[in-house]
Structure 1
Amino acid sequence: MKEFILTVADIVNRIHDLIMRVSQELGLNLTDKDLHIWVFGTIGIVLFFIVHMMFKKLAKYSVISISFIYTFTVLLVVVFAIEIQQKITGRGEMEFDDAVISIWGYLLFFASYLVIKVIAYYFKKFRRGK
């Protein structure tokens, strides 16, 4: 897990340095805070339009899919926050495998929920048919 975080941090740092260098070469004289506004504003609005378009299409089929994606995303952030917190505090071990198994736990429980939902649907359908 530590290696994964260090690799991601290295990639982010390289991108940051590249953006800073390009902005200086263009004579923009942007501060780090200015770059955060532009970079995260751009990433955020592009991601918003992609997610919005995807969720509108998914909503035509089922709100469950939207709820699943939202929960999965929040859970992913929480899982990595807990792993990082374990590293910082020294309580527990920060391991990528822990994060993976945590996500698998959610997927397993969600799949179980879907199975129960499908069984209940067909049971109700069968009872109405009589």
Structure 2
Amino acid sequence: MKEVILLLADIVNRIHDALIERFGLTMTDKQLHFWVIGIIGIFAFFIVYFFFKLIASMKWSITILSFIYTFTMMVVLVFAIELQQALTGGDMEFADAVVGLWGFLVFFFIYVVIALIILAVIKFMRRKK
């Protein structure tokens, strides 16, 4: 996990240096963050907006959107916990984050199976009447 974060930091530093060398930009970190995160964010917004509009037209749209939001929140939580462990001297492992996310996926799958069984029983009972 620590290696992944260090690799990402190295990539960001290389991009920063390339922007300075290629375009002669002399930006502070705050200015660079403003532009790069702003541009990435607006592109991400348009992509997410397109897919969410598509999902909204589906039968289970609220469930799908709830899953996407919850999964995103769990990714942030898992990595926040791993970073906290690193800052307090504990072991920061990417595998821990992955296993934690698998836990959420397994429990969500169990929920889906139970919900489908309940829906099937309700549908069967309505047909009998």
The TM-score with structure 2 as length reference comes to 0.89
Gaps of 5+ in 2: none
Gaps of 5+ in 1: none
* Offset of residue 11 of structure 1: 1.4
When residues 6 and 30 of structure 1 are mapped into structure 2, their CA distance, relative to the original with a 3 A threshold, is closer
The answer to whether 1:7 aligns with 2:4 is no
Instruction: Name the CA distance, whole Å, in 1 between partners of 2:80 and 2:99.
Output: 15
One of 119, 122, 127 as aligned partner of 1:121: 119
Instruction: Give SS of 1:111's match.
Output: helix
Instruction: Name the CA distance, whole Å, in 2 between partners of 1:30 and 1:93.
Output: 35
Matched to 1:96, the amino acid is F
Instruction: Name the CA distance, whole Å, in 1 between partners of 2:19 and 2:81.
Output: 30
The TM-score with structure 1 as length reference comes to 0.89
- The aligned residue for residue 63 of structure 1 is 62
Instruction: Give SS of 1:30's match.
Output: coil
Relative to structure 2, which stretch is displaced further, 9-18 or 28-37? 28-37
Contact 1:83 1:99 in 2 (8 A): yes
- The aligned residue for residue 16 of structure 1 is 16
- The aligned residue for residue 82 of structure 1 is 81
Contact 1:55 1:66 in 2 (8 A): yes
* Offset of residue 32 of structure 1: 2.7
- The aligned residue for residue 49 of structure 2 is 52
C-alpha root-mean-square deviation of aligned residues, in Å? 1.4
* Offset of residue 29 of structure 1: 4.1
Instruction: Name the CA distance, whole Å, in 1 between partners of 2:32 and 2:20.
Output: 8
* Offset of residue 22 of structure 1: 2.9
Number of aligned residues: 126
Contact 1:83 1:94 in 2 (8 A): yes
Identity rate, percent: 56
Instruction: Name the CA distance, whole Å, in 1 between partners of 2:87 and 2:92.
Output: 9
Matched to 1:126, the amino acid is F
